[in-house]
Structure 1
Amino acid sequence: MRATALLSPVAALTAALLLTSCGDGDGDSGGEGTPKKTAVGACAFGDLEMKVGPANAAPAPGDSGNVPVTLTNKGAKCTLEGLPSVTLTADGTSAEVAPDPAATGEKRTLAEGGSMTVIITYVRGEEGGGLAPKSAEFGLPGADATQDFPWSYGVVALKDGKPDATVSGFQQGD
């Protein structure tokens, strides 16, 4: 009986220590059983693989085309907050693509191995009457570094002197 009474406080103390040392797998324990969240950093190109296409290119002037840009996270969990930037470049002339009016810059978490897609939508222009990009520059929100890719989807129409094109916000991939 005496041994049982002595083991109960030891067992209770051991159980209490085990329970307070448990976290939720998302960070350190904040004490008193409350998990402390670990901050997740912003995504950077060094940890992302960028794939452009396959595109639904606009076949003729006046038609719309879509160019998907998919980012796959090869590093630790990271976040994307804000809207991406896209700049089209043609023979020394650069023009920024406007964000889609429906795009939101809400914070998105990208797990290791996860992906997000951005869609560049454009209207095909007439040869000699629009912007004939040779490349596009893709930027992450809040980052100075960009990634270039060749633009092989034809002339982009101009509307009020700007590319008749938009870029979506980040959309969850597969």
Structure 2
Amino acid sequence: MRITPIAVPAALAALLLLTACDSAGGDGDGDGKRESTACSVDTVSMEVGPASVAPAAGDTGEVPVVLTNQSAACTLDGFPKATLVGVSDSATFGVPPAEGAKAQKLTLAKGESASFTLTYERGTRGNGAFNAENLQVELPGDSSGPGVRSFRWTYGPVAHDGQGGHKISVGAYQQAGD
């Protein structure tokens, strides 16, 4: 009979211990990893290029963007928001995700990197092509304010797709490095 009173408190202590572990920042999957906040343009460095530039109209080019986390662990969940800005700043074009691309959730520890790629077809000026001057990048879930980084677009005009859009897309985030 002495064993029963001791076993019940031990079971209760184990249950409380398991509950305490989950409420201390678990991600709800039971794997013990701590949740992280969304990555912010304030806490990551970004580098555009070097690009594989489309040399002539009709050619395809790729522009990689690498993000490196400079702070506490953060998460990239979804697609980056990429916008091309034209000469007058009033003309903009939101870049859609690449056809068939699947967004993935990546958690970056301090110093870790991820990348995504813009793939475009070079157009001819004045032929419905978008004459971009800047590329603006926003991160999904960034609540740090405007959260936009702007980079000079030096890769030529982006071809018109004949359906009201342009021939450019953004790929999913990929883990970079090791």
Matched, 1:63 2:59: yes
Indicate which of 41, 49, 54 corresponds to 2:50.
54
The one of 86, 89, 113 aligned to 2:85:
89
Change (3 A) 1:33 1:141: closer
Runs of 4+ in 1 over 6 A off after TM superposition: none
Work out the CA distance in 1 between the residues paired with 2:19 and 2:94. Answer: 49
The question of 1:121 aligning with 2:119 is answered yes
Residue-by-residue CA offset, 1:11-65 (whole Å, 9 max, x unaligned): xxxxxxxxx9xxxxxxxxx715984323211111111000000000000100000
Q: How does 1:1-174 map to 2 (within 5 A)?
A: 31-32=17-18, 35-36=21-22, 37=26, 38-91=34-87, 92-129=90-127, 130-143=129-142, 144-159=146-161, 160-174=163-177
Structure 2 distance, partners of 1:123, 1:145, is 27
Secondary structure (helix, strand or coil) at the match of 2:101 reads coil
Q: TM-score, normalized by length of structure 2?
A: 0.77
Q: Conserved in 1, the CA contact under 8 Å of 2:46 and 2:65?
A: yes
Identity of aligned residues (%): 37
In 1, the alpha carbon distance for the partners of 2:160 and 2:113 equals: 31
Question: Where does structure 2 lack aligned partners over 5 or more consecutive residues?
Answer: 1-12, 27-33
Measure, in 1, the Cα distance between the counterparts of 2:78 and 2:19. Answer: 34
| Higher radius of gyration, 1 or 2 | 1
Unmatched runs of 5 consecutive residues or more in structure 1: 1-19, 21-29
Contact 1:96 1:163 survives alignment (8 Å): no
SS in 2 for 1:134: strand
Aligned length: 146
> Offset at 1:128?
1.7
In 2, distance between residues paired with 1:172 and 1:70?
10
